[in-house]
Amino acid sequence: MAVDSAISSPLGPPACEKDAKALRFIEEMTRNAGAVQERVLADILTQNARTEYLTRFKLNAATDRESFKSKLPVITYEDLQPEIQRIANGDRSAILSAHPISEFLTSSGTSAGERKLMPTIKEELDRRQLLYSLLMPVMNLYVPDLDKGKGLYFLFVKSETRTPGGLLARPVLTSYYKSEHFKTRPYDPYNVYTSPNEAILCPDSFQSMYTQMLCGLHDRHQVLRVGAVFASGLLRAIRFLQLNWEQLSVDIETGDLNQKITDPSLRECMAKLLKPNPELARFVRHECSKESWEGIITRIWPNTKYLDVIVTGAMAQYIPTLDYYSGGLPKACTMYASSECYFGLNLNPMCKPSEVSYTIMPNMAYFEFLPHEPNSSGFTRDSPPKLVDLVDVKVGKEYELVITTYAGLCRYRVGDILRVTGFHNSAPQFNFVRRKNVLFSIDSDKTDEAELQTAVENASQLLREFNTSVVEYTSYADTNTIPGHYVIYWELLIKDAANSPSDDVLKQCCLAMEQSLNSVYRQGRVADNSIGPLEIRVVKNGTFEELMDYAISRGASINQYKVPRCVNFTPIMELLDSRLISAHFSPGLPHWNPERRR
């Protein structure tokens, strides 16, 4: 029931007093975006005035935009490596931030094959929490009665390590779920999860998923929304159900928990929830044993109003599969965030995925925008870039996001390309266009052209003794299987047909490629089971020439033609697959351990 119009918001009538406050906050921030940004920059520069970094650039305690922009360089992660390494090694002096670095957040972006380490400070948790607190008040404007049931969210913690200097290094969501902000959150009828904290916080991914699914089945009539952070995560949960519904049904029928669940706190918590329920077990068996799983989400959770998953950016590839399993339920992309900083939220979360625009919240950090010219090679010291402020971006233009955070990142290029779609008050709204330099991805892995090239080179060493080389290659993220997997097309030059590489050798090539890919890929393969075995498809000689002919027939210039290192256009895939000679899958798991190698 909406509250009275006295506290109504331009975004719509709030569902309750608490929502009204959150919506007022959004209005206030977006109306005064320019002033808020100026204040945020001044706060950050005052707070960090004496840090080694700001001192190095002779800011002399200035806090105005002009001094900041003229003295501080625009940087990438690589530029900060020496400072980050010192912090990781235990240097506690005020290098980037005046506040102590509380931990490192491990980004899914990589540098030299390892996850990037993002320094963070304690107070950033409050800022992230603040952004989370705005999501449901916005959602309640579009979907009524979300306080009448629960959310089935598949949420996980991942492994954490310590740097040589003793700081924790873990993903931002692991840090959040393990924080008191999350664990002791006050009861909120609009934000009740089916998963108990014990299940979310269990470090064993099988036990965590199993119990979260069990709780979701148990509460099936109460579930009003189903979600995960990314679309790939929700599909992994569906796959898990496909593989485990029989055992889950046994547990539901008997009220006894699967012996594979060994975590004592999880067993204790599940013992309180599980009661024999033969009728529910019969239902689960009946639905899950049907040949078709079309619409399985709405069959099992009939009151689901929407899926809460990110389907923008690389996740858009999963939309058709989500539609298949959910009968086309709306897919809400609620927020845009990263390990470096949480950026903003979608003020119209029930819109179509292609129309999703994120409104950057001006209180989260100081934001600048580097105009993105798709064909320019970047910038040099002699021609420094002209960065644009948050309120000055132009509708229709593309920019790369550059941030200055309270934790001490200064004019840091995030690597995301955004397009301005409009404004809410004076705060711009953005389509997420893509992440720079990412060729393709399945889950949170991000593989770029150079990594793929190195992987192909390393694998093709194994072909040498067969007098064989890889003449051309391209790649494809195959998401028809769950989990999805990398497909690499190879055209081979086999000089001695009598001694050509066998299936076994090509399988080893698959594994060698996996071994060469970055640690996020290998973690997805080994620990998270979010990526399937890599596949090499060998195609007939001349296939890549045909690919070029095809591109030229569609208007590409002969002189400038380059083999695309990633393909996803159906006619091209069909052409490649119609020239297939053989397919080979990786026979094992690549090496991965949570410790960093550097």
Residue ranges binding ligand AMP (CB under 6 A): 107-109, 172, 310, 312-313, 333, 336-339, 414, 416, 432, 435, 444
Q: Which is nearer to ligand AMP, 87 or 309 (CB)?
A: 309
- Beta-strand ranges (E) seen in 57-173 are 103-111, 114-120, 150-154, 161-162, 168-170
154 token code pair: 């598949």
Q: Which is nearer to ligand AMP, 219 or 443 (CB)?
A: 443
- Beta-strand ranges (E) seen in 15-88 are none
Which has the closest alpha carbon to 222: 277, 276, 308, 146?
146
Helix (H) / strand (E) containing 526: helix 519-526
User: What is the closest distance, in whole angstroms, from the C-beta atom of residue 316 to ligand AMP in the complex?
Assistant: 9
Q: Which is nearer to ligand AMP, 438 or 567 (CB)?
A: 438
User: What is the closest distance, in whole angstroms, from the C-beta atom of residue 128 to ligand AMP in the complex?
Assistant: 11
User: What is the closest distance, in whole angstroms, from the C-beta atom of residue 41 to ligand AMP in the complex?
Assistant: 21
User: What is the closest distance, in whole angstroms, from the C-beta atom of residue 107 to ligand AMP in the complex?
Assistant: 4
Find the angle CA(281)-CA(286)-CA(292) to the nearest 5 degrees: 135
User: What is the closest distance, in whole angstroms, from the C-beta atom of residue 549 to ligand AMP in the complex?
Assistant: 35
Is residue 158 within 8 A of residue 170, CB to CB? The reply is yes
Q: Which is nearer to ligand AMP, 208 or 339 (CB)?
A: 339
Q: Which is nearer to ligand AMP, 178 or 435 (CB)?
A: 435
| Three-class SS of 454-512 | HHHHHHHHHHHHHCEEEEEEEEEEECCCCCCEEEEEEEEEECCHHHCCCHHHHHHHHHH
Beta-carbon contacts of residue 5 (< 8 Å; ≥ 6 apart)? 13
User: What is the C-alpha separation between 262 and 143, in angstroms, rounded?
Assistant: 39
- Beta-strand ranges (E) seen in 274-349 are 306-310, 331-332, 335-337, 342-345
User: What is the closest distance, in whole angstroms, from the C-beta atom of residue 111 to ligand AMP in the complex?
Assistant: 12
Q: Which is nearer to ligand AMP, 310 or 512 (CB)?
A: 310
Is residue 167 within 8 A of residue 88, CB to CB? The reply is yes
Edge to edge, what strands does the sheet with 223-230 contain?
150-154, 223-230, 306-310, 331-332
**Cβ atoms < 10 Å from Cβ of 458:** 15
User: What is the closest distance, in whole angstroms, from the C-beta atom of residue 344 to ligand AMP in the complex?
Assistant: 9
Handedness of CA 475, 314, 444, 237 (dihedral sign): negative
User: What is the closest distance, in whole angstroms, from the C-beta atom of residue 419 to ligand AMP in the complex?
Assistant: 12
Q: Which is nearer to ligand AMP, 416 or 535 (CB)?
A: 416
User: What is the closest distance, in whole angstroms, from the C-beta atom of residue 230 to ligand AMP in the complex?
Assistant: 8
Is residue 378 within 8 A of residue 52, CB to CB? The reply is no
User: What is the C-alpha separation between 404 and 74, in angstroms, rounded?
Assistant: 10
Which has the closest alpha carbon to 350: 308, 391, 384?
308
Contacts 24+ apart (CB under 8 A), 289-294: 289/245, 293/238, 293/242, 293/325, 294/324, 294/325, 294/327
User: What is the closest distance, in whole angstroms, from the C-beta atom of residue 444 to ligand AMP in the complex?
Assistant: 6
Which has the closest alpha carbon to 48: 109, 106, 119, 125?
119
User: What is the closest distance, in whole angstroms, from the C-beta atom of residue 465 to ligand AMP in the complex?
Assistant: 40
User: What is the closest distance, in whole angstroms, from the C-beta atom of residue 405 to ligand AMP in the complex?
Assistant: 13
- Residue 509: phi, psi to the nearest 5? -65, -40
